[in-house]
Structure 1
C-alpha cells in the first residue's frame, strides 16, 4: 500500500469565507441607514424645540422612512454586496432594481418634503390671521396645491423610472413621431377628466368654494368637507355625503352662504289670526333673542309680510354667527313663539271661522 501524499495549500481570507465581506457590507449599510435616520430625526427635534414658531421642522420628521430608504438603496447601489453573495451579474437586474428603488424613495421623499412645507405655511398663516374666511381660502388652495405637486412628482418619478429600461428608450423615437396623434386621442378620451382637473384649480384659486363653506346644491344644503382635483364632497345635515364633480361648480349656479361672511339671517314664518297683537309679539321676540346664546346681537325684526282672507303672514328675522347657529336659532325661536301664543294668546293662532264673532 502506498501512502498518499496530501498537499496543503494556503487559502486567502476571501476564498475561505466568500460571503463574509458582502455580509459585513450589508450590516454596515443597515447600521449607517439607522444612524443617518436617527441623527437627522434628533437634529430636527432639537431645531423644532428651539424654534416653536416654525412648525416645518417638526413636520419634516415625517420624512424619516423615505430618507432611510433612499440612503440604504444608495449605499447598496454603491457597494453592490448582493452581487457577491448570490453570484449575480449585472445583466440579472440587481443593479437595476436598486436604481429603481432609489428613484422611488427619492420621489417619496420629495412628496413628503413638499407636503411638510405646504402644511407648515398653512399653520403659520392660521396663527397670524384673524379672518376665518381667508383661512378657509388658504386651506383650500394649499390642499389643492399639495395634490398637484404630489401628482407632478409621482408622474416625473415614474417617467424617469421607465426611461431606465432599454425597451422604453428604444421605442422613444416612434412614440415621439406619433405624439401628435396620441395627444389628440388622449385629449378626446380624457376630456371629462381634464375638465374636472382645471375646474378644481379654478375653484381653488378663484375663491368660489372653500372647505367649510355652506352651500346649496340641487336643493340640498350642506357643508363642503373635501375638495380634490376631480370631485367635491358636501356633508349634508343628516351626515350623508354628496359627491359632486368639481365641474358642476363651474358650469352651474349654486348657493354659497358663507363665501364672504359666515353670518346668516335666519327667518321664521308664522301664519296667525288677524286679531294677533303684532307689537306685543315683536317685544316677545326681542326678549327671547336676548336670552338665546346663538343670537349674535346684530339684527332682528318682526314684520307682517302678507295677508290672506283667513290669516296674516308674520316673518321674524334674526342673525347668527354661523349657518349651524342660524338653523338652531330658527328652530328654537319658532318653537318658543308658538308656545307663547298658545299659552298667552290662543286666539292669535289661526282658526277656521264658521260664524261671525
Structure 2
C-alpha cells in the first residue's frame, strides 16, 4: 500500500507542477497548456494502472497471474496512448507557433515539411514497440514468434519483400523532408505539370495541380526522378509564353504591345519581362515572352493573359503576321 501511495502521490505532484507551469507565465506555456488539457485522461489511466501494477508486484501471491498480465497490457496501452497524444499535441503546438502564410518564408515551409514526417515516423516506432512489448507478456506467442523467425526463413524473406516498398517510401519520405529540395508550399513541375506541394507525408507527396486536381506520388519518385522546383530559394516565378509568327512580323511592334499588356496586368510583380526570338523554322519564327509574378498561380494566369492579348493583337491589327504556308506555282 505504501508503494501504491507513493506512485499516486508522485503522479499527482507531477500533474500539479505541469498545471501550474501551463497556467503561469512560462516560456513553454504554448506547449504545456494544450499538452495538459489533452493528456489528462491518458495520464490518469497511466497513473491508476501504474499503481495497480505496483500493488500486484508487491504482493504477487494475492493476485492471479492473468490479472497481472491484463494490468501490464493495459499499462503498456495507456502509456502508448499518452505518448501518441503528446506527439500530436506537440506537432499541433509547433504548427501554431509558425505563421499561417507559408509562401513568403522558406524556413517556415521547411519546418512544416520536416515536423509532420518526424511525428508520423515516431508514432509508428512507438506503436511497433508497444505491440512488441504486449507480445512479450504472453510466453506462448513469444515462443511461436521466435520459432517462426528462426526456422522459417522463407516466410521472413517474403515478409521482407512485401514490406520493401513501404519501408522504401518511409525512408524516402525522411530523405525528402531533410534533403532541402522540396518543401510544403513549393511550386514544382512534375512530368510537364506544375502545381503546389500541399503535403509531404511519410510515404507520399500530395501536389495540387494548376486545375485543382490532386496528384499523389510516392516519395521514392522524388528520389529517383528529376523535377523542377520553381520556389526553392524564393517564391517569385518567371512565366514563359511562346508564339509562332510569320517571318514578316515586326518584333518591335510586338514588343511594344507586350509591354502594354504586361505593365497593365496586376499579376506582374514589376520585376522583369522580356520578349525575344528564340527559334526559327522554315515557316515561322518562335517568339518567347518571359514575365515574373509573385507566385506560381499568378505566373500561370499572367502567361494566359499575355498569350490571349498577343493573339488578339495579331488577329485584329496584323493578321498577315499569323503563321502561313507559302508555295510556288509554275505554269
TM over 0.5: yes
In the alignment, what sits opposite 1:164? 137
Mapped partners of 1:194, 1:220: distance in 2: 28
Mapped partners of 1:131, 1:268: distance in 2: 25
Residue 101 to residue 343, structure 1, CA distance change in 2 (3 Å): same
In the alignment, what sits opposite 1:46? 23
Matched, 1:143 2:116: yes
Residue 242 to residue 174, structure 1, CA distance change in 2 (3 Å): same
Mapped partners of 1:255, 1:105: distance in 2: 45
SS of match in other structure, 1:190: helix
Matched, 1:305 2:278: yes
In the alignment, what sits opposite 2:46? 70
Matched, 1:333 2:314: no
In the alignment, what sits opposite 2:30? 55
> 1:198-209, aligned counterparts within 5 Å?
198-209=171-182
Tell me how many residue pairs correspond in the alignment.
Answer: 312
User: In structure 2, which of residues 185, 188, 208 is the aligned counterpart of residue 235 of structure 1?
Assistant: 208
Residue 181 to residue 268, structure 1, CA distance change in 2 (3 Å): closer
Residue 163 to residue 313, structure 1, CA distance change in 2 (3 Å): same
User: In structure 2, which of residues 231, 243, 249 is the aligned counterpart of residue 270 of structure 1?
Assistant: 243
In the alignment, what sits opposite 1:13? none
> 1:1-357, aligned counterparts within 5 Å?
43=20, 46-47=23-24, 50=25, 55-60=30-35, 61-74=37-50, 90-91=64-65, 93-124=66-97, 132-168=105-141, 170=143, 174=147, 186-351=159-324
Q: 1:70-110 CA deviation, whole Å, 9 max, x = no partner?
A: 34544566789xxxxxxx9725x444333322221111111
Residue 53 to residue 298, structure 1, CA distance change in 2 (3 Å): farther
Mapped partners of 1:324, 1:79: distance in 2: 64
Equivalent residues of 1:54, 1:124 under 8 A apart: no
Residue 313 to residue 175, structure 1, CA distance change in 2 (3 Å): closer
Residue 188 to residue 170, structure 1, CA distance change in 2 (3 Å): closer
Coordinate RMSD, CA, aligned: 3.8
Residue 353 to residue 172, structure 1, CA distance change in 2 (3 Å): closer
Equivalent residues of 1:285, 1:337 under 8 A apart: yes
In the alignment, what sits opposite 1:24? none
Unaligned runs of 5+ in 2: 1-8, 57-61
Residue 176 to residue 295, structure 1, CA distance change in 2 (3 Å): same
User: After the TM superposition, which of the residue ranges 288-297 and 321-330 deviates more from structure 2?
Assistant: 288-297
Superposition TM-score, scaled by structure 1 size = 0.72
Equivalent residues of 1:268, 1:334 under 8 A apart: yes
Q: 1:93-147 CA deviation, whole Å, 9 max, x = no partner?
A: 44433332222111111122233334444554659x9962222222111111111
Residue 180 to residue 132, structure 1, CA distance change in 2 (3 Å): farther
SS of match in other structure, 2:39: helix
Compute the displacement of 1:328 (Å).
0.8
The structure having more radius of gyration, on CA atoms, is 1
Unaligned runs of 5+ in 1: 1-31, 81-87
Compute the displacement of 1:297 (Å).
1.5
Residue 184 to residue 347, structure 1, CA distance change in 2 (3 Å): closer
